[in-house]
Amino acid sequence: MRATTAEQNGFDAATNAGVTGPGLHLAASLVRIMRNHPAALLAGIDVPTMHSFLSRCETTHHATARQIITQGDALDHAYLVIGGAVEISVMDESGNCLLAHLAQAGEVVGEVELLSRRSCVASARARGGSTLARFDSALLRAHVPAERLLQNLSGVLHDRLSRDNSLHLTALFYSSEDRIRSHILRFTTPDAPRTDISQSDLATFSGCSRQTVNRTLAQLRDEGILRLARGSITVLDRNRLRRFRALTDKP
């Protein structure tokens, strides 16, 4: 994907200011990701500011899966996902566990608890191969103006509310095959049509068996709607993927 004029200007400004090296390219990449996903906590900041923010974060690469947030704990930091994915899960008093979300590059984990100073409502587990940038509220406020931060956080919460509402409606009124379609749409966008998600995770999100996921994906592949690879799904025809109907619809 080519950079926009604004992004290129920001990149040039950072270079002219003496900021060079791979860190600058990473900052530019994250700014581009957040442009395509505007409901991000750090959306709207320029490349030099992103570079400054990242240079002050504690960046870690997790070769193997690791728990980074535990439900119920207090939190004095949050994580920006630079690469890989973070599993967000919720457990009830009986020990039943629900995989609620997969946070991917450009998303932040733990920001609501960090800013509200309330205990964690979910646990977070970085998948093997993930790279995360850890930061505290002071660092965040130093790089994102208050008005922008409020707008971004409101956008994040709006998207989560919309997602939760959609999940409830889909679970109640749609078939397993169409729930699978819905979740693939949720994890992709027109600008980012690929998602790295396993069939097992897709089955968990959709509340169905892996056999049903495998059969549905194979059908969508044969119809030219998806392209499948090991551990990833790419949407080729988003409009046709949306063609599902509620169980209450008449045949």
pLDDT digits (tens, 9 = 90+) for 98-118: 888 889 889 999 999 999 999
Q: What are all long-range contacts of 167-171, with beta carbons under 8 Å and residues at least 24 apart? A: 171/207
Tell me the percentage of the chain whose pLDDT exceeds 90.
Answer: 57
Give the pLDDT score at 60: 94
Give the pLDDT score at 163: 84
Would you say 212 and 225 are in contact if contact means Cβ atoms under 8 Å apart? no
What is the Cα–Cα distance from 133 to 172, expressed in whole angstroms? 37
Least confident stretch, 3-17, 26-40, 53-67, 132-146: 3-17
Give the pLDDT score at 246: 47
The angle formed by the CA atoms of residues 54, 60 and 61, to the nearest 5 degrees, is: 120
8 has a pLDDT exceeding 50: no
9 has a pLDDT exceeding 50: no
Would you say 106 and 40 are in contact if contact means Cβ atoms under 8 Å apart? yes
Q: What is the chain's mean pLDDT, rounded?
A: 86
Q: Which of the pair, 251 or 240, is modelled with greater confidence? A: 240
pLDDT digits (tens, 9 = 90+) for 179-210: 999 889 988 888 779 888 888 889 988 889 99
Give the pLDDT score at 15: 43
In Å, how far are 64, 65, 94, 98, 205 from 182, measured between CA atoms? 29, 27, 29, 18, 10
pLDDT digits (tens, 9 = 90+) for 163-179: 888 888 888 888 899 99
Mean pLDDT confidence for 212-231: 93
Give the pLDDT score at 245: 59
35 has a pLDDT exceeding 90: no
